[in-house]
Amino acid sequence: MDSRALSLLLSPEGWTLLNQLPPYEEQTALKLAEGLRARGVDPDLVSAALTQSRLRARAQEKFGQFASELLFTQAGLEQATRLPVAARHAQRYADAGATLVADLGCGLGADALAMAGLGLRVLAIELDEQTAALATVNLRAFETAQVRLADALQVDLAAEGVDAVFADPARRTRSGSRVFDPRAYSPDLDTLLALRERVPNLGLKVGPGVPYHALPSETQAQWVSVDGAVVEAGLWFGDLAPEGSGRSALLLTDDGAHHLSWSGDADAPAGQAPTGRLGRYVYEPDGAVIRAGLVARLCEQTGGTLLDPSIAYISTDTPVQTPMATGFRVLDTFDFGLKRLRAYLRERNVGRVEIKKRGTAVVPDQLRQQLALKGENAATIILTRLRGKQSVLVVERL
């Protein structure tokens, strides 16, 4: 969105048009645009309004009903914190007694929005002029939130009275591809970690793939998943980490929040869980548990063992209730072979198959095409290694 488009969108006419548009549908957008232009609406305004309508529709996954009140850019939406996760961030700052939080590189203001919603004072700093303008709009309802156009690293935090910092560094290149090396973040991770010398209460949002060796020993590193999808890792210091140093997994699901943790040096290697034979049940740990290196911890809790030392499938002989993993009852197992698997499923009139896999190079979509199933029944299979062999587990969800 260029400056003219933004200006048109923020005009009374533009704001009214945006909020009167019907729910966005790709198949009707072109016809709607043609109709608006035929009525004499500025084509640039039509384009800007429909773009925002489309982004708002996509943003509902992260922001729910609040998406209809916010403005977005494509890049900003991709990096923005989901509202339930931002609320967790905000609660940390409130529990730590923060009086003024500096949100460095605030983007579209998702985290600042959640903090201000809890009554926290927030100084939201953003270097990109257009993004700062959108953040100002998004935070318009909160008197305790101020957006400032500035280089976050050049702001005198002490002079501002800041007693806590949150930072979400950019993790995409200009072409839009993801950045996985913390040294290539903008700002880079080491530069942000140095802020602890000025403000000990520091929180950083990093990519879920951050390697343990890149973490300081003394931090609470937490991986977060929402409805089974790993969305971020967070590094917490000072009063923001009352649980002390270590690694943890936070799972946010429809039935609440679930937590698994381990205390120690955050940069330590993941613990090794014991291996054993295939039992009557198999459990697939949530991705946040795996990323946090807590599979061994989950084995302790469930009394299970791994099927293979390098594969995160846990097996038990008795069913276990845990929110940290998806459970399956094992119905059958055999060595993997395309002909054998196809014959097995066709004999059982299977036409729809859910394919889960770890420790194998098989591509589920390709395998599904190769199986060419046409039956009426459904099945779930797990492709993995057993006793060093590529194997098939036929399972049903618990």
What is the average per-residue pLDDT within 260-269? Answer: 97
pLDDT higher than 80, residue 174: no
Q: How much is the pLDDT for 317?
A: 97
Query: What six digits make up the tokens of 377?
Result: 């029944």
Distance CA 338, CA 94 (A): 56
pLDDT higher than 70, residue 185: yes
Boundaries of every domain in the chain: 3-62, 77-263, 281-325, 327-397
DSSP per-residue string spanning 30-58:
HHHHHHHHHTT--HHHHHHHHHHHHHHHH
CATH of 77-263, one of 3.40.50.150, 3.30.1360.150, 3.40.50.2000, 3.30.450.90: 3.40.50.150
What is the average per-residue pLDDT within 362-380? Answer: 95
Q: How much is the pLDDT for 76?
A: 92
DSSP per-residue string spanning 233-280:
EEEE-GGG-TT-SEEEEEEEETTEEEEEEEES-TTSPPPPPPB----S
Q: Name the band, by pLDDT with cuts 50, 70 and 90, for residue 231.
A: very high
Distance CA 395, CA 398 (A): 9
What is the average per-residue pLDDT within 2-17? Answer: 90
- Write the single-letter amino acid at 47: S
- Spatial contact of 194 and 216, defined as CB atoms under 8 Å apart: no
Q: Name the band, by pLDDT with cuts 50, 70 and 90, for residue 176.
A: low
* Cα 391 versus chain centre, distance: 31
CATH architecture of the domain covering 327-397: 2-Layer Sandwich (3.30)
Q: Which residue has the tokens 């966005």?
A: 24
pTM: 0.92
The residue among 250, 198, 217 whose CA lies nearest residue 89 is 250
Strands 164-167 and 100-104: parallel
pLDDT, one tens digit per residue, over 336-357 is: 999 999 999 999 999 999 999 9
pLDDT, one tens digit per residue, over 203-224 is: 999 999 999 999 999 999 999 9
